[in-house]
């Protein structure tokens, strides 16, 4: 379990990026995006939250960046991720993926709404943002 004390320990961004952008893609190869999406869903199952606001707070605590709601419709939600790591990845022109974050968002909303949910990323490199489009079908319910 991650405690508040652990959250207060500063993490070197270089160390995080070494694992995230160098080691993991080497280990996972061509399947990295799919595996990261599944890993994000798995993390959401281990760290469930009750509200959308809790998802936003989790992103801050995890150091993933600032997640904000851009638009909310009946069957879709758009969220935007910004922050120093996003900016730095674009500045260094790294080919990166935000599938772990997309999977995390999809699973959290699926657990909250009790319907099958998918999330897609759109990288907005010129504005140093990532847009997540989250979609669900109210008829496609899940059982607990």
Q: Can you give the pLDDT at residue 66?
A: 97
**Sequence ranges of the domains in the chain:** 12-141
Q: Can you give the pLDDT at residue 19?
A: 86
Is the domain spanning 12-141 CATH 3.30.1380.20? The answer is: yes
Q: Can you give the pLDDT at residue 47?
A: 96
Tokens 């879709």: give the residue: 76
Q: Can you give the pLDDT at residue 13?
A: 80
Q: Can you give the pLDDT at residue 93?
A: 75
- With a cut of 50, list the residues of the chain below it in pLDDT: none
């Amino acid at each position: 379990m991650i405690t508040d004390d652990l959250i207060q320990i500063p993490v070197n961004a270089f160390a995080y990026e070494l694992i995230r952008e160098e080691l993991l893609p080497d280990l996972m190869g061509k399947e990295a995006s799919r595996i990261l999406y599944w890993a994000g869903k798995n993390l959401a199952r281990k760290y469930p939250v009750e509200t959308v606001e809790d998802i936003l707070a989790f992103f801050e605590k995890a150091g993933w960046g600032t997640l904000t709601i851009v638009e909310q419709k009946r069957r879709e939600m758009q969220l935007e991720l910004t922050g120093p790591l996003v900016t730095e990845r674009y500045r260094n022109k790294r080919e990166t993926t935000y599938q772990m974050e997309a999977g995390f968002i999809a699973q959290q909303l699926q657990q909250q709404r009790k319907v099958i949910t998918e999330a897609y990323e759109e990288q907005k490199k010129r504005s140093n943002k990532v847009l997540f489009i989250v979609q669900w079908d109210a008829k496609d319910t899940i059982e607990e």
